[in-house]
């Protein structure tokens, strides 16, 4: 335990519920570490906890609404345990601020995305002063960005490493710049120290996290940019794989593809959100690239990094999206043939430019378009999986399935491989597996 100077030890237990992206999952890991360092112990259910943290996501209406049902459950828990401390953290907290406290009396603390490191002190204060608190100021220097990785338990092979915080792109549909603040890169030496520390604790794969990782370093004076960071990380002993997400197409250039080609540890997978295939919609979204420019990036990437897997995000039903606009997106999927996509119905977000447009599409149209996109992509993904059958892939064993006892891991291209139960492999093993079956969402393999 590493108690933070100037803070008192806390008594009791904690439970965290997390929604949203990998960045939020990683923030929850940091919160857990902070609370444990102050003396709280983790428990498996909200019912057992003295402190409950709900780490929230505001990217679309649906994840946002999960918070309100979670708050409903809190009411019953609070009734049974009046000393329970309830905290809403993450992007909904940041967005709604005081409003959340006004909305419900069962909440003790609203913790903004820049205030994570203050949580232990805030809990002490709430217990001492019996007063509700809201901490949602944006800081120029976000302290949790400097926090070292949560200590990994034995057997953890994969770990996230935050390399930047926030986003300054302001795509017209997106809430993230408002909930995470402006883009801030973390110093390269801090990242390298953290990765060295992780490697010493047995971690073999790291995923570098940021909203726009290829803009890494633009705001720093030391001159280290993202491709250079990848090269520096490749010298760290013990790290077999480096992944990163998310890349923004506008900032994706040949120097990054070259680093992917040259640095062995960097996995052959890029998540490059296209969002839409129509130039008019891309312009309205303020994405900063045309469809042709995006295609050109895919062209050099596939040429320079053979067998690279490309995945993407697609939004259907952006305000004013016509039948032709939508068809351009469908055509893009057929032309590019992504390995996998994440597709979403456009969802109005408060504060955003697109939210105040007056040409929104009906829910029915959005639903229909989403289903069409799913159908197109399902066939493509299935074809990729079928084509992999017979090939031999490097798989890093990440865990054992509780239900079936099957060891599982991922290929360098990010595809899930389940092995047969009888395979004699251990978590952390880097093996060669022959793919024997290609399913809809995963592959089945056999160690060779
Ligand atoms: N920083 C990343 C994406 C972060 S959000 C990038 O720029 O690519 C993840 C995805 O959620 C986005 O790529 C987008 O496809 C989707 N998304 C964001 N806001 C949305 C909204 N208002 N409605 C529907 N989907 C949205
Ligand atoms: Fe949102 Fe655009 Fe920033 Fe991605 S780049 S987080 S979509 S504003
Ligand atoms: Fe959601 Fe915030 Fe991540 S809105 S997607 S948790 S950055």
Q: Which atom of ligand 1 is nearest to the CA of 175?
A: 19
Q: What pLDDT, in 10s, does the model give residues 299-308?
A: 999 999 999 9
What pLDDT, on a 0 to 100 scale, did the predictor assign at position 223? 79
Compute, in angstroms, the gap from residue 164 CA to the centroid of ligand 2.
13
What does the pLDDT read at residue 148? 73
Question: Are 418 and 432 members of one domain?
Answer: yes
Instruction: Assess if residue 247 is contained within a domain.
Output: yes
User: What's the distance, CA 269 to chain centroid?
Assistant: 15
Q: Could you give the CA distance from residue 315 to residue 325 in angstroms, rounded to a whole number?
A: 12
Q: Are both 26 and 129 inside the same structural domain?
A: yes
Sequence-distant (6+) residues with CB within 8 A of 129 are: none
Report the predicted TM-score, pTM, of the whole model to 2 decimal places.
0.95
On whether both 365 and 400 belong to a single domain, the answer is no
**Ligand 1 atom closest to the CA of 169, numbered from 1:** 7
For a substitution probing ligand 3, which of 16, 57, 64 has the most ligand atoms within 8 Å of its CB? 57
Q: Tell which residue, 242, 176, 241, 258, has the closest CA to residue 208.
A: 242
382 and 393 within one domain: no
Q: What's the pLDDT tens digit per position in 23-70?
A: 999 999 999 999 999 999 999 999 999 999 999 999 999 999 999 889
Answer whether residue 2 shows pLDDT above 80.
no
* Nearest-ligand number for the alpha carbon of 21: 3
Q: Give the CATH number, domain containing residue 60.
A: 3.40.50.12160
Last residue of a domain, one of 232, 248, 267: 267
399 within domain boundaries: yes
Q: Are residues 294 and 341 in the same domain?
A: yes
23 CA closest ligand 3 atom index: 3
Cα separation values, 215 from 171, 374, 429, Å? 15, 30, 33
Order of strands across the sheet that contains 205-209:
158-162, 205-209, 241-245
Could you report the per-residue pLDDT of 127-145, keeping only the tens digit for each?
Answer: 999 899 999 999 888 888 8
Nearest ligand 2 atom to the CA of 180 is: 6
Decide the pairing of beta strands 407-410 and 416-419. antiparallel
DSSP one-letter code for 172: T
Confidence bin at 420 (pLDDT 50/70/90): confident
Residue in the structure block whose two tokens are 């335990």? 1
Rounded Cα distance between 93 and 133, Å, is 12
Is residue 103 a contact partner of residue 136, using CB atoms and an 8 Å limit? no
Ligand 2 centre to CA of 246 (Å) is 10
* pLDDT exceeds 70 at position 153: no
Nearest-atom index, ligand 2, CA of 246: 4
Answer whether residue 189 is part of any domain.
yes
- Residue 32 covered by a domain: yes
Contact status, residue 378 vs residue 440, Cβ threshold 8 Å:
yes
Q: Which of ligand 2's atoms lies nearest the C-alpha of 287?
A: 2
Residue 1: inside a domain, yes or no?
Answer: no
Is the shortest distance between the CB of 177 and ligand 2 below 6 Å? Answer: yes
And the tokens for 24?
């939020």
Q: With a 6 A CB cut-off, is 273 part of the ligand 1 pocket?
A: yes
- In short, whether 167's Cβ falls inside 6 Å of ligand 2 is yes
Among 62-71, 196-205, 344-353, 415-424, the range with the most confident prediction by mean pLDDT is: 344-353
Angle between helices 226-233 and 188-200 (to 10 degrees): 30
Domain boundary among 222, 247, 267: 267
Residue 433 alpha carbon to ligand 2 centre in Å: 37
Q: Which of 90, 114, 173 to mutate to test the pocket of ligand 3 (most atoms within 8 A of CB)?
A: 90
Q: Where are the alpha helices (DSSP H) in 57-212?
A: 61-80, 90-96, 98-103, 119-129, 143-146, 176-180, 188-200
Query: Which CATH number fits the domain that encloses residue 198?
Result: 3.30.750.210
- Span 381-399, average pLDDT: 97
159 and 207 in contact (C-beta within 8 Å)? yes
Ligand 3: centre distance to CA 60 (Å): 9
Query: Among 23, 171, 181, which is best to mutate for testing ligand 3, by the most ligand atoms less than 8 A from CB?
Result: 23
119 lines ligand 2 (CB under 6 A): no
* Kind of pairing between the strands at 269-271 and 85-89: unpaired
Does residue 310 have its Cβ closer than 6 Å to ligand 2?
no
- Fill in the DSSP letter of residue 4: P
Per-residue tokens: 81? 């345990």
Which atom in ligand 2 lies closest to the alpha carbon of residue 167?
3
Residues 328 and 254 in one domain: no
Which one of 352, 370, 386 terminates a domain?
386
Closest C-alpha to ligand 3, atom 1? 57
* Counts of helices then strands in the chain (DSSP H, E): 14, 19
Residue 119 domain flag: yes
pLDDT digits (tens, 9 = 90+) for 71-102: 989 999 999 998 999 999 999 999 999 999 99
* Structural domain total, the chain: 4
- Residue 1 reports pLDDT greater than 60: no
Give the residue, by CA position, lying nearest to ligand 3 atom 3: 21
Going across the sheet that includes 309-316, the strands are 269-271, 309-316, 340-345
If asked whether residues 118 and 201 sit together in one domain, one would say no
Residues 158 and 175 grouped into a single domain: yes
| Atom number, ligand 1, closest to the C-alpha of residue 212 | 1
Q: Where are the beta strands (DSSP E) in 324-368?
A: 340-345
Residue 307 falls within a domain, yes or no?
yes
Are residues 130 and 24 part of one domain? yes
Q: What is the CATH number of the domain that holds 314?
A: 3.30.750.200
Q: Which pair of structure tokens corresponds to residue 255? A: 């120097």
181 in Cβ contact with 113 (< 8 Å): yes
Residues 334 and 363 in one domain: yes
282 and 263 together in one domain: no
Residue 272 counted as domain residue: no
For residues 201 and 144, which has the higher predicted lDDT (pLDDT)? 201
Q: Which domain holds residue 122?
A: 13-135
Question: Do both 120 and 57 map to the same domain?
Answer: yes
Please tell me if the CB atom of residue 317 comes closer than 6 angstroms to any atom of ligand 3. Answer: no
The Cα–Cα gap between 436 and 386 comes to 9
DSSP state of 266: B
CATH number of domain containing 418: 2.40.50.140
User: Is residue 349 over pLDDT 90?
Assistant: yes
* pLDDT mean across residues, the chain: 94
């Amino acid at each position: 335990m590493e108690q933070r100077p100037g803070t008192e030890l806390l008594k009791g237990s904690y439970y965290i519920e997390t929604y949203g992206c990998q960045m939020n999952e990683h923030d929850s890991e940091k919160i857990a570490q902070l609370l444990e360092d102050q003396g709280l112990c983790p428990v498996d259910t909200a019912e057992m906890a003295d402190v409950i943290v709900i780490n929230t996501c505001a990217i679309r209406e649906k994840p946002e609404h999960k918070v309100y049902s979670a708050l409903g459950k809190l009411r019953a828990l609070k009734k049974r345990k009046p000393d329970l401390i309830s905290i809403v953290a993450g992007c909904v907290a940041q967005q709604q601020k005081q409003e959340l406290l006004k909305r419900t009396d069962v909440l003790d603390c609203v913790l903004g995305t820049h205030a994570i490191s203050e949580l232990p002190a805030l809990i002490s204060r709430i217990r001492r002063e019996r007063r509700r608190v809201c901490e949602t100021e944006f800081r120029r220097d976000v302290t949790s960005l400097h926090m070292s990785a949560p200590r990994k338990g034995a057997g953890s092979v994969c770990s996230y490493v935050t390399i930047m915080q926030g986003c300054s792109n302001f795509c017209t549909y997106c809430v993230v710049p408002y909930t995470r603040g402006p883009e801030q890169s973390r110093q390269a030496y801090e990242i390298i120290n953290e990765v060295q520390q992780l490697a010493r604790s047995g971690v073999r794969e790291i995923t570098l996290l940021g909203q726009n990782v290829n803009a890494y370093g633009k705001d720093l004076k030391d001159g280290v940019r993202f491709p250079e960071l990848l090269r520096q990380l490749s010298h760290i002993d013990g790290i077999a794989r480096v992944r990163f997400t998310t890349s923004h197409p506008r900032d994706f250039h040949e120097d990054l593809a070259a680093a992917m080609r040259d640095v062995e540890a960097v996995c052959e997978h890029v998540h490059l959100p296209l969002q839409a295939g129509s130039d008019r919609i891309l312009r309205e979204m303020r994405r900063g690239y045309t469809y042709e420019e995006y295609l050109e990036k895919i062209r050099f990437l596939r040429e320079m990094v053979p067998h690279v897997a490309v995945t993407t995000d697609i939004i259907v039903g952006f305000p004013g999206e016509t039948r032709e606009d939508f068809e351009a997106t469908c055509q893009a999927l057929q032309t590019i043939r992504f390995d996998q996509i994440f597709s979403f119905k456009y969802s109005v977000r408060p504060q955003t430019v697109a939210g105040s447009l007056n040409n929104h599409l009906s829910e029915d149209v959005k639903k229909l378009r989403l289903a069409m996109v799913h159908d197109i992509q399902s066939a493509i993904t299935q074809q990729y999986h079928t084509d992999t059958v017979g090939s031999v892939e490097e798989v890093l064993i990440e865990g054992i399935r509780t239900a079936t006892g099957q060891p599982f891991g991922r290929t360098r291209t990010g595809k899930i491989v389940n092995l047969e139960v009888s395979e004699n492999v251990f978590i952390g093993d880097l093996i060669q597996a022959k793919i024997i079956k290609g399913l809809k969402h995963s592959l089945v393999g056999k160690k060779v």
